[in-house]
Amino acid sequence: MAFSMVLFVALAVSSLMVVSGAGNFYQDFDLTWGDHRAKIFNGGQLLSLSLDQTSGSGFKSKREYLFGRIDMQLKLVAGNSAGTVTAYYLSSQGPTHDEIDFEFLGNLSGDPYILHTNVFTQGKGGREQQFYLWFDPTRNFHTYSVIWKPQHIIFLVDNTPIRLFKNAESIGVPFPKNQPMRIYSSLWNADDWATRGGLVKTDWSKAPFTAYYRNFNAQTCAGSCTHGTSSSSALSNGGWQTQELDDYGRRRLRWVQKNFMIYNYCSDLKRFPQGVPPECKRPRFL
C-alpha cells in the first residue's frame, strides 16, 4: 500500500487537530450498560468502556440531534484486540430507524484495525465501506467526526474526509433527514464475525479490553438548517452548516479511498449481480 511520504507527513500534522469546546461526559451522556465496566472520570473529561468475558459496556447521549457536526476523540483497545468491536454511531429507534456508523474491528497484535462505516435509512443498511487507518489508533487519541446535513453525510478521521454519502432522494434513494438521533457507543465481543470472519477468537487472557473517549463536541442546528456552501475552511470545526468538500477535501477523500479502502459495497458485483444500488452510479466526489 504505497503512498507519498509528503502526503503522509501532511496527514500526520492534521492528526494533531484539537477539538475545541469539548463537552462534559457527566452532563452529556448516560452509562447504559456494563455496570462498573463503563466509567467517567477526570471531572467528566474522560470516559472509558471495558469488556471482559462476562460483559461489555456502553453509553448514549442524553440529547437527540437532527443534523450537525459530531466530534469524538477515541483511543482504541491496544494489543491483541481480535474479536472485539468498538462501535461509535448515531441512531434513532424503531424498525425504520436511521443510523450513521463507525465500527472499529479489532485484530491480532501488529495487524491493523478495520474501520467499518455504514449508513441506515428507514431501517435498511447494507451501505458498507471499510478502511485501514494510516496510523495506530491505539497509541494516541484521534478524532472521528460526522458532518450530517440535509444534502450529505461526511465521515472524517482527524479532519480528513474518508467517505461522502450524498442525498440521492431525487433518484429514489432514502436519506436520513427526518428522525433525530442519539449518539451511542459500545465495546463488545463479536468474535463470531469481527476478525477474519470469525476465524480468530477473543483471547480472554488479555481481558479486560478498554477503549477511551475524550473531547466530545456537538455543533447542531439553532433553528432551521441552512443549505449554504463555502469554498474556504471547508472542514474546519466552525460553521458546519456551510461546510462542503472543496478541491483539497476531494483530493484527500480520493487519496484515502485509493490507498486505504478495503471494501466498498458499490464495487461488490457478486453481492449485486443485477446491478449496484442506484446511488453508486452517481459521481462520488462532486
Active site residue 103: yes
**Side by side, which strands form the sheet with 129-131?**
29-33, 57-61, 182-189, 84-91, 99-105, 114-120, 129-131, 261-264
Domain-located, residue 270: yes
Give percent of the chain with pLDDT exceeding 70.
Answer: 83
Phi/psi of residue 205, each to 5°?
Answer: -70, -15
The single residue listed with the C-alpha cell 484495525 is 113
Instruction: Note the pLDDT of residue 239.
Output: 63
> Is there a contact between 228 and 40 (Cβ–Cβ < 8 Å)?
no
Active site residue 99: yes
Q: CA–CA separation, 19 vs 35, rounded Å?
A: 29
What single DSSP character describes residue 135?
S
Q: What is the pLDDT of residues 54-90, one digit of tens each?
A: 999 999 999 999 999 999 999 999 999 999 999 999 9
Cα-based distances in Å from 101 to 7, 183, 269, 279: 27, 10, 23, 18
Q: Please state, rounded to an integer, the average pLDDT across all residues of the chain.
A: 87
**Side by side, which strands form the sheet with 160-166?**
38-41, 46-51, 209-220, 68-75, 142-149, 152-157, 160-166
What's the rounded mean pLDDT across residues 206-210?
Answer: 97
Structural domain for 180, as ranges: 5-281
Q: Phi/psi zone of residue 110: left (φ > 0), alpha (ψ -120 to 50 degrees), beta?
A: left
Domain-located, residue 286: no
Facing residues of 119 across strands? 100
Domain-located, residue 109: yes
Long-range pairs of 200-203 with CB within 8 A, sequence gap ≥ 24: 200/82, 200/83, 200/107, 200/108, 201/82, 201/83, 202/82, 202/83, 202/84, 203/80, 203/82, 203/83
Instruction: Note the pLDDT of residue 40.
Output: 98
Lowest mean pLDDT among 82-86, 157-161, 225-229, 230-234: 230-234
Q: What is the pLDDT of residues 238-273, one digit of tens each?
A: 566 666 788 999 999 999 999 999 999 999 999 999
- Residue of 103, 128, 169, 279 marked active site: 103
Is residue 110 pLDDT above 80, yes or no? yes
**Torsion angle, alpha carbons of 276, 121, 118, 138, to 10:** 170
Instruction: Note the pLDDT of residue 245.
Output: 87
Is residue 168 pLDDT above 80, yes or no? yes
Q: What is the pLDDT of residues 11-45, one digit of tens each?
A: 433 333 333 345 799 999 999 999 999 999 999 99
Q: Cell numbers of 26, please?
A: 457527566
Return the half-sphere exposure (C-beta side, CA atoms, 13 A cut-off) of residue 14. Answer: 21
Domain-located, residue 258: yes
Is residue 144 pLDDT above 60, yes or no? yes
> Is there a contact between 130 and 104 (Cβ–Cβ < 8 Å)?
no
The domain total for the chain is: 1
CATH number for the domain spanning 64: value is 2.60.120.200
Q: Cell numbers of 5, please?
A: 511520504
Q: CA–CA separation, 135 vs 152, rounded Å?
A: 27
Is residue 214 pLDDT above 70, yes or no? yes
Instruction: Note the pLDDT of residue 13.
Output: 34
- One-letter amino acid for residue 57 of the chain: S
Is residue 278 pLDDT above 60, yes or no? yes
* Position 285 confidence tier, pLDDT thresholds 50, 70, 90: low
Return the half-sphere exposure (C-beta side, CA atoms, 13 A cut-off) of residue 143. Answer: 27
> Is there a contact between 50 and 187 (Cβ–Cβ < 8 Å)?
yes
